[in-house]
């Protein structure tokens, strides 16, 4: 056990030093030559001080991300090998006799411990977000949201973990398949209820107040054959100064949502471009593609988790005092494996997401035919959110579900609109005639 602890701490420390060196020493600054002099050149709309500020904040965020993920793994690893998970299970069994109560008590102990251990890194993230004027929350407001997160997660996880371990006891070998089969309707259910039950716990959602703007957005929706009656705005200005809009939910509960910060800081043409982009996700069925992909990946994820856990318990179960996979004390091991697999496939899922975002950008520019509004909207999004124009390679691969801002702006500038395509064809035909 001492050897495991030593190697784990040493490995985490070396990884932290390596990622620090990569982000602060190796990651190239500036942008590629192809963007210089174009609309994507940050020197054309950002001062040197603003560029430096974006670089500082982005590097801090990236560092926190890369050290937070393996820190979570380290926590789960130590909870298992130090016997903490076993103690939590024993205490829960001593407290109540019925199995759901034991699961709820065990999970409460585990959730509180992991929350407290992760809190310093969470607070550091909040601190820098506040210091760089991204977050508009007071500490009490931020803490309130953290506690809401905790209790919502705890309530949902109590049901999920009780069900999961019940399936492990009933289906010794095929529990992962049974779990996945129940996971499918649960995922669809959560996608359906989140916009109307969970999201309002954090913020107030209401139909767009600017009815003239709403009429123009609904006209775009009608042109895109989207059966929308309302566009919703949400009061995010109490939390952040960043800009955003998104599509959430499925079926009758699908919503197009605008942050009030976006309404306050973008002009009408810029907002219409952003809305066209969000409508593209509906038109291109990205939400349903995302759900389908997620469920397929979950199938293989459950299978790999089962195989991995079986091997670990078979090899190290005696040392860890784990006799069966269905014991609650194996939960941190389950969460550890799931977290590692999720991180491992993030380059793939992020690549798919970036492709969909490019599709949405292309759809939006074709619908609005207003490149100036699109470019100025992206410039403001970058400036207000302190978004990197061109992130380092590893950051893009593991963190970015959207193309980098420089890529998006350059794509918009060079994207041939229908009128421009016809003009290019005519100019080419005229040039060919003159040569003849």
Domain residue spans in the chain?
2-204+284-425
- The structure tokens 């649960």 sit at 186
Predicted pLDDT of residue 432: 56
Using alpha carbons, list the distances in angstroms from residue 310 to 1, 5, 79, 173, 386: 20, 22, 18, 9, 45
Mean per-residue pLDDT for 292-309? 94
Close Cβ partners of 255 (under 8 Å, ≥ 6 residues apart): 195, 205, 232, 247, 248, 249
In the predicted structure, residue 250 carries a pLDDT above the cut 80: no
Predicted pLDDT of residue 176: 95
Measured CA angle at 187 (ends 186, 192), to 5 deg: 95
Predicted pLDDT of residue 424: 58
Q: Please name every residue paired with 232 in a beta bridge, in sequence order, or none if there are none.
A: 207, 257
Predicted pLDDT of residue 247: 75
In the predicted structure, residue 226 carries a pLDDT above the cut 80: no
Confidence class for position 208, pLDDT limits 50, 70, 90? confident
Residues 195, 298 contacting (CB under 8 angstroms): no
Predicted pLDDT of residue 431: 56
In the predicted structure, residue 282 carries a pLDDT above the cut 90: no
* Burial letters 263-274, b for 16+ CB under 10 A, else e: bebbeebbbbbb
Predicted pLDDT of residue 423: 57
Q: What is the pTM of this model?
A: 0.88
Q: Supply φ then ψ for residue 247, to 5 degrees.
A: -110, 135
Residue 379, token pair as written in the block = 């410039």
Predicted pLDDT of residue 183: 92
Strand order in the sheet with 255-259: 205-207, 232-234, 255-259, 245-248
In the predicted structure, residue 425 carries a pLDDT above the cut 70: no
Distance CA 157, CA 161 (A): 6
- From 202-216, 269-283, 323-337, 397-411, the region with the lowest mean pLDDT: 202-216
Confidence class for position 201, pLDDT limits 50, 70, 90? confident
Supply the residues annotated as catalytic: 278
Confidence class for position 430, pLDDT limits 50, 70, 90? low
In the predicted structure, residue 84 carries a pLDDT above the cut 90: yes
Predicted pLDDT of residue 230: 76
Predicted pLDDT of residue 28: 66
Close Cβ partners of 299 (under 8 Å, ≥ 6 residues apart): 180
Residue 234, token pair as written in the block = 């949400």
Q: Which long-range contacts (CB under 8 A, 24 or more apart) does 74-78 make?
A: 74/8, 74/9, 74/12, 75/114, 75/117, 75/118, 76/114, 76/332, 76/333, 76/335, 76/336, 76/339, 77/4, 77/8, 77/332, 77/336, 78/5, 78/8
Confidence class for position 252, pLDDT limits 50, 70, 90? low
Distance CA 163, CA 341 (A): 21
Confidence class for position 434, pLDDT limits 50, 70, 90? low
Mean per-residue pLDDT for 304-310? 94
Mean per-residue pLDDT for 421-434? 57
Mean per-residue pLDDT for 366-376? 93
Confidence class for position 343, pLDDT limits 50, 70, 90? very high
State percent of the chain over pLDDT 70.
Answer: 94
Q: Supply φ then ψ for residue 228, to 5 degrees.
A: -105, 135
Mean of all residue pLDDT scores within the chain: 90
Higher per-residue pLDDT: 418 or 162: 162
Distance CA 258, CA 19 (A): 35
Confidence class for position 429, pLDDT limits 50, 70, 90? low
Predicted pLDDT of residue 62: 95
Predicted pLDDT of residue 436: 54
Q: How buried is residue 419: exposed, middle or buried, by Cβ count under 10 Å (0-12/13-18/19+)?
A: exposed
């Amino acid at each position: 056990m001492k050897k495991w602890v030593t190697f784990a701490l040493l490995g985490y420390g070396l990884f932290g030093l390596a990622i620090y060196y990569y982000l602060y020493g190796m990651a190239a600054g500036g942008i590629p030559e192809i963007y210089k002099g174009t609309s994507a050149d940050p020197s054309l709309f950002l001062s040197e001080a603003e560029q430096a500020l974006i670089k500082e904040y982005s590097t801090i965020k990236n560092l926190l991300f890369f050290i937070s993920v393996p820190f979570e793994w380290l926590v789960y690893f130590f909870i298992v090998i130090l016997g903490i998970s076993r103690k939590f299970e024993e205490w829960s069994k001593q407290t109540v006799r019925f199995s759901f109560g034991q699961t709820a008590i065990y999970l409460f102990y585990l959730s509180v411990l992991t929350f407290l251990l992760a809190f310093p890194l969470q607070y550091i993230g909040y601190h820098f977000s506040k210091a760089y004027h991204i977050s508009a929350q007071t500490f009490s407001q931020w803490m309130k949201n953290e506690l809401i997160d905790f209790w919502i997660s705890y309530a949902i996880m109590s049901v999920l973990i009780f069900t999961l371990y019940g399936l492990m006891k009933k289906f010794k070998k095929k529990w992962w398949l049974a779990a996945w089969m129940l996971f499918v309707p649960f995922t669809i259910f959560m996608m359906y209820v989140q916009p109307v039950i969970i999201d309002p716990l954090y913020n107030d959602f209401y139909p767009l107040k600017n009815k003239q703007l709403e009429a123009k957005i609904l006209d775009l929706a009608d042109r895109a054959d989207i059966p929308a009656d309302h566009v919703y705005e949400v009061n995010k200005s109490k939390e952040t100064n960043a800009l955003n809009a998104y599509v959430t939910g499925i079926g009758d509960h699908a919503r197009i949502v605008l942050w009030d910060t976006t309404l306050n800081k973008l002009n009408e043409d810029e907002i219409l471009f952003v809305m066209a982009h969000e409508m593209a996700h509906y038109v291109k069925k990205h939400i349903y593609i995302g759900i389908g992909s997620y469920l397929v990946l979950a199938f293989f994820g459950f299978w790999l988790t089962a195989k991995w856990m079986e091997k670990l318990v078979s090899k190290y179960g005696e040392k860890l005092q784990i006799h069966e996979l269905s014991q609650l004390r194996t939960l941190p091991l389950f969460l550890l494996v799931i977290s590692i697999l999720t991180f491992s496939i993030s380059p793939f899922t992020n690549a798919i997401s970036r492709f969909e975002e490019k599709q949405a950008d292309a759809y939006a520019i074709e619908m609005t035919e207003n490149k100036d509004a699109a470019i100025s909207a992206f410039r403001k999004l970058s400036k207000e959110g302190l978004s990197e124009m061109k992130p380092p390679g590893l950051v893009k691969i593991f963190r970015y579900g959207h193309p980098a801002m420089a890529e998006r702006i350059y794509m918009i500038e060079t994207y041939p609109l229908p009128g421009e395509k016809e003009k290019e064809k005519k100019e080419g035909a005229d040039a060919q005639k003159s040569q003849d």
